[in-house]
Amino acid sequence: MPVVFNQELLDNCVELDPWHSRCRALSNDGFGSKATGLSGVIPEDLVPAWYWTDQFAMEIIYHNRILNYKCRTMEPDSATAFYIPFYAGLAVGKYLWFKYRWKDRDRYCEMILKWLQEQPHWNSSGGWDHFITMGRITWDFRRTKDEDWGSKCIYLPGMRNITRLLIERNPWDYFDVAVPYPTGFHPRSDSDVLEWQDFVRNHNRKTLFCFAGAPRDTIKNDFRSLLLRQCMNVSGLCRAVDCAGTRCSNGTSLVLEAFLDSEFCLQPRGDSFTRRSIFDCMVAGSIPVFFWHRTAYLQYQWFLPSDPKSYSVFIHRNEVKNGTSIKSVLESYSKEEVKKIREKVIEHIPKLVYAKPKEGLESIKDAFDVAIEGALKRIKEQKQFGHKWK
């Protein structure tokens, strides 16, 4: 594939963001710069497995893993599926703000589809056996009007049949598959995973719950502000991390420490229905508390338990708005129940992280393995049952 669709974007990383260079964030094969300031927070021998990974770096991480994937073939006629190494999220990112027009936001996607439609293996399937990683939420690629946000990439002719791996999907689009946001933990071996699981299982959690987030003062009846108030009103039982400005951006251990020290972590919707914090929370062994079903339950079916109650707590946002005490709800869980739920969270940590070795871990399957095996399985099923359209 022409480098304009991937490597050239990385080579010009300084231009990918209208405010600052993205080069450090996208370095180290997408993991970003090595994490600092974690000594004394986590086991010393696991510090090298942590990076300040950007939430929009998944396209690079997946591409590097696929290049070394055990099932990769250099003979296209024997392939079950075809991966499209186009960094769609990076390509559109710089054009989402300021003076750029809809033509700027659509240009790269139009270019890649034109190139694909000239390839013989695309034309033999119409895209049914192709899949792509798109490292932003699906709504960044679903513009319906020229003056609206994002590109119209997903709505362009040719994208209809492609399986799309995104950090947030449209729950009503079969071809969208939600995969975990990248977190900072990138285990180097099976032993790293097992040691981390033991660490979060036995960690002394001093507070009942925590909330890390920034209030949205411009939003009427902002739900995050309500959560912060509830947290700060129960002194000693909740740890609040006010993420206004850049206080919680990559480069600080504040959020990780809060999640490690708390039994539960509050997870409202972010700018969209999902947020990276869900995975930071669960990797730290904290139990997520959700207020919208679409934040996780309608998103990450390949990666999370099928029974929401087995790994999380749900409190409808309207109940909170009407005065329900989050503290009281969480205190109603016995120590035995909390331990059981946490164990389910810990059990699923491997499926939520992206391993450091380009070949993957020895025997444990990480988020990449689950995603690719899932994509291959659905493409095989599509071929087997012949449920396609032109």
Place of tokens 């975990």: 180
CA gap 296, 274 in Å, rounded:
7
**pLDDT tops 80 at residue 208:** yes
pTM strictly above 0.85: yes
Mapped onto helix, strand or coil, the DSSP state of residue 274 is coil
Separation between Cα atoms, residue 325 and residue 306, nearest integer Å: 27
Check residue 61 and report its DSSP letter: H
247 confidence band (pLDDT: 50, 70, 90): low
Q: What is the mean pLDDT of residues 124-136?
A: 93
Q: Which residue has the tokens 């480069």?
A: 251
Tokens coding 236: 């000693």
Percent of the chain at pLDDT > 90 equals 80
Q: What percent of the chain has pLDDT over 70?
A: 95
pLDDT, residue 311, reads 98
Quickly tell me which residue has 């205190």 as its tokens: 331
Count CB neighbours of 157 within 10 A. 8
The pLDDT of residue 222: 84
Sheet arrangement for strand 238-242: 238-242, 207-213, 262-267, 287-290, 313-314
For residues 129-134, average pLDDT: 96
Tell me what pLDDT residue 119 has. Answer: 92
- Give the Cα separation of 345 and 281 in Å (integer): 10
Tell me what pLDDT residue 90 has: 96
Average pLDDT, stretch 294-320? 97
Amino acid residing at 113: L
* Residue 3 vs residue 99, higher pLDDT: 3
Q: Do 262 and 209 touch, CB atoms closer than 8 A?
A: yes
pLDDT of residue 266 exceeding 70, the answer is: yes
| Range(s) of the chain covered by CATH 3.40.50 | 190-352
Residue type, 109: C
Q: Which two tokens stand for residue 219?
A: 């939003």
CATH architecture classification, 190-352: 3-Layer(aba) Sandwich (3.40)
Q: Tell me the DSSP string of 95-112.
A: TSSTT--HHHHHHHHHHH
At 302, give phi and psi (nearest 5°).
-75, -15
Q: Which residue has the higher pLDDT, 384 or 342?
A: 342
pLDDT of residue 385: 66
Residues 307-326, mean pLDDT to the nearest whole number: 96
pLDDT of 388 reads 57
What pLDDT score does 390 carry? Answer: 45
Predicted pLDDT of residue 270: 80
The β-bridge relationship of strands 207-213 and 262-267 is parallel
CA angle 171, 175, 180 (to 5 degrees): 65
Q: Which amino acid does the sequence have at 53? A: T
- pLDDT band per the 50, 70, 90 thresholds, residue 246: low
Mean pLDDT of the chain: 93
Q: How far is Cα 195 from Cα 42, in angstroms, rounded to an integer?
A: 11
More confident residue, 198 or 248: 198
pLDDT at 386 over 70: no
DSSP-derived 3-state class of residue 4: helix
Q: Looking at residue 58, what is its pLDDT?
A: 97
Say whether pLDDT at 28 is over 70: yes
Query: How far, in Å, CA of 40 to CA of 75, rounded?
Result: 49
